[in-house]
Structure 1
Amino acid sequence: MAGTVMGWWRPSRRKGGRTSARTRRVTARVTALRSLVNGGPSPDFRERLRADLMRAHADERTAGRHAAPPAAHAGSRRPRPRRSLLVRLRPVLVFGVALSGMFATGVRTYHAVPGEVLYPLKRVAESTVLVLAYDEKDRAEREMAAARLRAAETASLIGEAAPDRRRLIAQTLDDMETKTRAALTRVARRGHADGEARRFARQQRKVVEPLLPKLDGENRDKATQYLRYIDTFTASGR
């Protein structure tokens, strides 16, 4: 029994032979690797490696030489000069000139008299202001302001030597009376002439009365009739 068991554990000769052959091959490989580690690469391998490295270095230098001109060209490009102060301030200057021109035109339009180029623009602006009045009292005050302008325009026209001066004065006096009657009618509609209406009538008399000797017969009659009308508000105090 014991002999049988021992015989089962004893390896056969065939199997032992295969193991010995495998061991010899592994030992040979280890010995070859050890020789490579101890002795280093062979001279042929070193020569090939050196040639490959030199070739790679030459290729890199050639590629860098071809890429250098564009870089140099880009570096030689001059920087874009900064815009001058005048160019940067040009929009501000243009806006300032335009604003000044608008202001000057507005002043000239306000002081324009009948017969001048800007006078129609003045009357259009005046009509717009009257339309924008928010109640009867405000509309009356704006119409009084328009009548004051007509009186001042009449005084300006008297001092001019325009060929159609008499016609322009007649039109201005008619419009002054129209604006005055409209304003004072709104005041009377409220039942009494307030202090603003009385002050307006006195101011208009101070401007129009000195013009009577300088007016021709027809325009003098218009101015006299106008003074009689506004006197009813200063005298009666209604």
Structure 2
Amino acid sequence: MPGLTDTRPMTASRPLPAEPSSTSESRQLLWIDGVGGFLLLTGQAVSIGGPTSPDADIQLLASLSRRHATIHRDDGGYLLEPHGPTRVNGRQAAEWTELTDGADITLGNTVQLGFHRPTVLSGSARLSFQSDHRPSHSLDGVVLVADTCLLGPGRDCHIRCPEWEDSVILIHRDRQWLVRSPRVALEVNGRRLRGESEIGHGQVVTGPDLRFHIEPLKTDSSHRGARG
């Protein structure tokens, strides 16, 4: 087994590749008052590229190729496929590299991303921006949504909301978004929710100490979301 100082390329078994799905259905924006804006990506494959990459799911303002790397979700895990110079945890990434919780991803020479799987109860993961490079949209992070996205104050949440009293669960199922919370009384546009309820674009979810909504990703780079 390679040691901590091993510099050999990292490899993993290669799954059947899925093409990145850069569609409005697979890319949504989640705006949480007092917390920030987050890109929700639901595709099996997520591509990362530079600012001139119209088909990339994540377009970073950095000197990257149009399609620098792709992250694939496979059998409950995640694999990174590099198309340009890429390192994972300081080691050169070969054709396929397994991503585990806490992995550091370096694209090119300067772009640094963090990969997080905060809970084993969800197949979803989060990418954090560790360098100054950001997408053209005003975003604080990216969630790779497999099934659910946990919002709340706990360390097991995909998006930490430290001022919230308890957690809220976003569910992606059959191209729809649903929301539920076992202990928080929620409303959508002033209507009290009971159990698991569907939420549409622009509908505002509120609780005693929370407020958020989901909207489609706009391609206009001048778009900015309001924060509370």
Whether TM-score is above 0.5 comes out as no
Q: What TM-score does the superposition give when structure 2 sets the normalisation length?
A: 0.23
Rg larger for: 1
Using CA pairs under 8 Å that are at least 6 residues apart, name the structure with larger relative contact order, 1 or 2.
2
Greater helix content: 1
Greater strand content: 2
